[in-house]
Structure 1
Amino acid sequence: MIIEDFVSFDGNGLYCKYGDFYIDPKQPVSNAIISHAHADHAISGNNTVYLTEATKAFMLLRYGKNSAKVFNVIAYNAPFTVGKVKITLIPAGHMLGSAQILMEYEGIRYLYTGDYKLQPDATCEPIEWVTTDVLITESTFADPAILHPDPTEEIKKINEIKTNILLGAYGLGKSQRLINLINTYAPQKKLLIHHRIMSINAIYEKMGHAPGKCQIYSRKLMKNQDEFVYIVPPFTFDSYLRATGVTRLFASGWKNLQVNSRDTLFISDHVDWNDILQTIKITQPKQIWTLHGNGLHLKKHFGDNIFVKILN
């Protein structure tokens, strides 16, 4: 029987009282299972954390000795137990080291997706599928009106831009994916990378997912109109608001982050509406619990066919 309060939110985040652990907590806790290394899911200061090897490496890069007191590095598809709950980390396809968290308790399977994507990405492990009784899915773009275009066709659009490009992107995950896509589908472009992204690239390379050819940014190089693409994190991108002689682009699935009405770059590392429906079809849940977004569209779509609960 499905336990309706198997996980629930409290002041520290998403909590499972049956295993006495949090999933991607918002405040430091005693026991945390971390789905991936983005800062809104992986904070510093937890006592004991369970996570993949890549997630540990990224947290150490960002937080250093404050990352956590005890690291338990878990391989994909290697079950372990916390409290009375059997847990398995399964590739989520969101970024390098990202994991879905399968929790099994009293014969019922609860699958927390974390952030995930179905689109191919050479810079991370592809998503893997399991069936579940309860699908606990992110719903960032759970809206029938939001359908992400083919990332290959999106990146090819920069071939038509003959000026230098200032390309804003999140430094961890998105930037490495863009480096790979540009090297593959716009190989004549010369890639310059912000210095903070280079240290992340080094971890990707060490773990066998080298993003591709690029070099650290030089102002002298960018003075030449030579089809350079300079990838920068959001804080740097915003500081170049009045940059001249470049085309400004921001790679995101969000329409409001597109800074150029003529040249857009809709590349997302999250599932869109059709991807979520495909996930539900494959995982075959009896119930769907939503978080990290709006679950109302899914609730309306499934009606009485599948019970949909909105956790946040």
Structure 2
Amino acid sequence: MILDDFVLIDDKGLYCKYGDFYLDPKLPAKTAVISHAHADHAISGNNEVYCTRATATIMQLRYDRTAAKVFNIVGYNQSFNIGRVVITLIPAGHMLGSAQILMEYEGTRYLYTGDYKLQPDATCEPIEWVTTDVLITESTFADPAVLHPDPVVEIQKINAIKTNILLGAYGLGKSQRLINLISTYAPQKKILVHHRIMPINAIYEKMGFTLGAHQIYGRKLMKVQDEFVYIVPPFTFDSYIRAIGVTRLFASGWKNLQVNQKDTLFISDHVDWKDILETITRTQPSQIWTLHGDGRHLKNHFNNDIFVKLLN
């Protein structure tokens, strides 16, 4: 039997009272199961955290001693208990170490996706599929009007840009994916990386994910026109708004983050409308609960065929 209150949202975030734990809490919690290391899902200060090794390693890099009092490192597809809830982490394909969180309680399965993607990505574990009774899915781009283009076609656009490129991207997950894509599909480009991104790159390499040739940024290098691509985090990108002699691009699935009309780079690490429908087909839920976006399009699409509940 599906419990309508199996997870609820309170001031700390998504709470499972049947196991007394939070999923990606927004405020420090006694017990947290964390899907991945992006800061909007993995905050510091939790007492006890369950997550993958990559997620813990990145959190420890970012937060140092305040990352958590206790880390419980869990491998993919290795079940563990929190109270009477059986939990299994399933690869989510979003970034290194990202996990869907499968929760089983009294014979019913609830699958929390966290952030996830279906597109191929050589810098993280590919998504795996499990069936579930309730799919608790992010709905960031759950809109029939949103269909993400092929990332290979997108990255190949930069082959036609002969100036140096200032490329804005989130430092964790997106930057590493871009290094790999550029190295593979625009190999003549010389990749420079902001110093704050380099320690994250080192974690990827240590965990067996080869990114491709790159080096730390040097100011003298960018003064030479030699098809350099300088990957920088958003705060640095914004500070270079008046940069001359470069083409400014921001890699994102969001239209409002594209910074010029001539050149765009739509590369997203989230599922689009088509991918969410594919996920529903693969996981075969009886109910869909939506988070992190607008679930109304899914509710209208399925009408009475599948019950859709908007959690936020």
Instruction: Write out aligned runs for 1:29-178 (5 A).
Output: 29-178=29-178
1:61-99 Cα shifts (integer Å, max 9, x gaps): 000000000000000000000011000000000000000
The residue aligned with 2:193 is 193
The residue aligned with 2:14 is 14
Answer yes or no: is the 8 Å Cα contact 1:155–1:186 preserved in 2.
Answer: yes
Answer yes or no: is the 8 Å Cα contact 1:201–1:210 preserved in 2.
Answer: no
1:190-245 Cα shifts (integer Å, max 9, x gaps): 00000011000000000001211100001100000000000000000000000000
The runs of at least 4 consecutive aligned structure 1 residues that moved more than 6 Å come to none
The residue aligned with 2:305 is 305
The RMSD of aligned alpha carbons is 0.3
Are positions 1:275 and 2:275 aligned together? yes
Q: CA deviation at 1:154?
A: 0.2
The residue aligned with 1:263 is 263
Q: CA deviation at 1:42?
A: 0.1
Hey, what's the Cα distance between the residues in 2 that align with 1:165 and 1:275? 31
Letter paired with 2:239: S
1:153-189 Cα shifts (integer Å, max 9, x gaps): 0000000000000000000000000000000000000
1:23-76 Cα shifts (integer Å, max 9, x gaps): 000000100000000000000000000000000000000000000000000000
Letter paired with 2:136: I
1:72-131 Cα shifts (integer Å, max 9, x gaps): 000000000001100000000000000000000000000000000000000000000000
Letter paired with 1:262: K
The residue aligned with 1:243 is 243
Hey, what's the Cα distance between the residues in 1 that align with 2:211 and 2:160? 23
Hey, what's the Cα distance between the residues in 1 that align with 2:139 and 2:213? 34
Hey, what's the Cα distance between the residues in 2 that align with 1:64 and 1:260? 37
TM-score, length of structure 1 as denominator length: 1.00
The residue aligned with 1:213 is 213
Hey, what's the Cα distance between the residues in 1 that align with 2:219 and 2:15? 48
Hey, what's the Cα distance between the residues in 2 that align with 1:250 and 1:60? 27
Q: CA deviation at 1:297?
A: 0.3
Hey, what's the Cα distance between the residues in 2 that align with 1:91 and 1:192? 30
Structure 1: 5+ residue stretches without partners: none
Secondary structure at the residue paired with 2:196?
A: helix
TM-score, length of structure 2 as denominator length: 1.00
Secondary structure at the residue paired with 1:195?
A: coil
Secondary structure at the residue paired with 2:95?
A: coil
Letter paired with 2:46: N
How many residue pairs end up in the alignment? 312
Hey, what's the Cα distance between the residues in 1 that align with 2:257 and 2:184? 25
Secondary structure at the residue paired with 1:196?
A: coil
The residue aligned with 2:290 is 290
Hey, what's the Cα distance between the residues in 2 that align with 1:258 and 1:81? 44
Q: CA deviation at 1:260?
A: 1.1
Q: CA deviation at 1:251?
A: 0.2
Hey, what's the Cα distance between the residues in 2 that align with 1:239 and 1:73? 38
